[in-house]
Amino acid sequence: MTDSTGKDRVSLSELGFIFLKLGTIAFGGPAAHIAMMEDEFVRKRRWITEEDFLDRVAAASLIPGPSSTEVGIFIGRSLRGWPGLIVAGVSFIIPAAVLVSLIAAAYVRFGALPQVEGILRGIKPVVIAIIIQALWQLGKKAAKTPTLVLIGIASAVLNGVGVSPLLVLAFAGASSGAVWWLQKSRHSAAALCAISFSKMFSPTGLISLAVVAAAPVRLGRLFLSFLKIGSVVFGSGYVLLAFLRAEFVDHLHWLTEKQLIDSVAVGQFTPGPVFSTATFIGYLVGGLPGAFLATLGIFLPGFVFVAVSGPLIPKIRRSPAAGAVLDGVVVGSLALIAVVAWQLGKASITGWFTVSILAVSILAIFRFRINSAWLILGAGIVGWIAAR
């Protein structure tokens, strides 16, 4: 579907409602969020093609910020332009921000987090089943050649042994581009790798726009701190944890170690973006105004990066060389998602109870096409009952 077709067919209210729904039920982190978006926009509604969706996933993986939120912003922009960009991103963020603010208020009053282990134990196997479905659907489209299959496998192995996600994506893009170049000319693969590497990292030059300066107002400093973090952080929630610790525990001394760990835990077990951790910290530091400014600061760079890089994607696809690099980044992105699913599975599938939920979820998704929202709700209820 072309952008113009999407803009004609999709209303802003409908787009906003879908992202509000996703922001309310999207448990499990970025990999699960991306899987749910693929289900909603590619397979159910057919508003964008699988190729377009994969390109957005790859682009979001190459820029700083919350990757799944940026995929949603990319989708909103492709369907309804600038208004869609804002509506999609804000609608996906709001449910998590509201819920995390409520939890933060309870935390400030009672000094502890709600006990949700049973609910999470039931939900996580469903999340893994959702990711498996997305990998199956997207992988069939992305792995177009044996070379791309090998690049995807190599990318998963590299990430599994500890290579950073950004370097994995650089390897995947450079490798795919090198193969294309060797097929078209006698130039060396090393030359293409250097060219591909420089092109893929050029968007990060925008990072220099977000520099934190000392601010006399505490809320202003809070906003600038999260603006900086949102502008430079790549990777998982564990990478975010390192940035938060350096800024708020070691440098500013606004949080204790326990408060930081609890903040990250809230971002992990609530639906929507994991970066909603910022909302929790903002509330602890400055109440509701702090929660709002922290949320705005950490997510604002993502909107900017998407707005700047979004128009480049069609141009990249029209260039055979750049398109080959992007094909490699796509399979590298899927490899990273597969590694996340494997790691989550090892940690959460630990007995007959979780194995049973996983098996039922896979059957329900692949055979009966049951909506993932109902599976998450049902598994959460079962987990809560089992834990009592």
- pLDDT tens-digit readout, 156-200: 999 888 887 768 878 998 999 999 888 876 544 444 344 444 444
Query: How far apart are the C-alpha atoms of 386 and 319, rounded to whole Å?
Result: 55
Computed from CA positions of residues 366, 370, 47, 322, in that sequence, does the dihedral angle turn out positive or negative? negative
Within-domain flag for 172: yes
- d(C-alpha 375, C-alpha 122), whole Å: 10
The answer as to whether 357 is a domain residue is no
DSSP 185: -
Residues in the chain: 388
Residue 95: both structure tokens together? 């449910």
**10 Å Cβ neighbour count for 269?**
17
* Nearest residue to 127 (alpha-carbon basis) of 377, 382, 351: 377
| pLDDT tens digit sequence for 136-164 | 877 887 888 999 999 999 999 998 888 87
The residues near 109 (Cβ < 8 Å, ≥ 6 apart) are none
Which tokens go with 264? 């990250």
Range of the structural domain that residue 188 is part of: 148-203
Q: Is residue 264 part of a domain?
A: no
The predicted structure's pLDDT at residue 135: 84
Rounded-to-integer distance, Cα 80 and Cα 16, Å? 11
DSSP conformational letter for 217 = S
Give the burial class of 203: count Cβ atoms within 10 A of its Cβ; 0-12 exposed, 13-18 middle, 19 or more buried. middle
Inter-helix orientation angle 320-348/117-142, to 10°: 150
Decide if 296 is inside a domain. Answer: no
Does any domain span residue 47? Answer: no
Answer whether residue 271 is part of any domain. Answer: no
* pLDDT value, residue 100: 92
pTM over 0.75: no
Chain Cα centroid distance, residue 229: 16
User: For 150, what's the count of Cα atoms within 13 Å in the CB-facing half-sphere?
Assistant: 6
Q: Could you tell me where the DSSP H helices lie in the chain?
A: 3-9, 12-25, 30-37, 50-62, 67-110, 117-142, 146-160, 165-184, 189-201, 218-232, 237-244, 257-269, 277-309, 312-318, 320-348, 352-366, 372-387
Closest to 270 in 3D by CA, of 28, 17, 18: 28
Angle at alpha carbon of residue 271, lines to 350 and 30, rounded to 5°: 75
Task: Give percent of the chain above pLDDT 70.
Answer: 83
CA–CA distance from 220 to each of 175, 215, 291, 300 (Å)?
44, 6, 12, 15
What b/e readout covers 114-143, taking b as 16+ CB neighbours within 10 angstroms?
eebebbbbbbbbbbbbbbbbbbebbbeebb
| Residues of the chain with confidence (pLDDT) below 70 | 1-8, 111-117, 120, 166, 185-217, 234-239, 241-242, 265, 268, 344, 373
Q: Which long-range contacts (CB under 8 A, 24 or more apart) does 291-295 make?
A: 291/97, 291/100, 291/101, 291/104, 293/219, 293/222, 293/223, 293/226, 294/222, 294/223, 294/226, 295/93, 295/97, 295/226
Scored b (16 or more CB within 10 A) or e, 53-68 reads bbbbbbbbbbbbbbbb
pLDDT at position 374 is 82
Instruction: Give the list of residues 6+ apart from residue 253 with CB closer than 8 angstroms, or none.
Output: none
Predicted local confidence at residue 196, as pLDDT = 44
| Count of the separate structural domains present in the chain | 1
> What residues contact 278, with CB distance under 8 A and at least 6 apart?
226, 229, 230, 294, 295, 297, 298, 299
- Reference 261, options 277, 247, 273; nearest CA is 277
Residue 70 lies in a domain: no
Cα separation values, 356 from 49, 128, 228, 349, Å: 33, 13, 43, 9
User: Is residue 183 a part of any domain in this protein?
Assistant: yes
The answer for residues whose C-beta is within 8 angstroms of residue 99's C-beta and 6 or more apart is 270, 271, 272, 276
Contact 57, 71 (CB under 8 A): yes
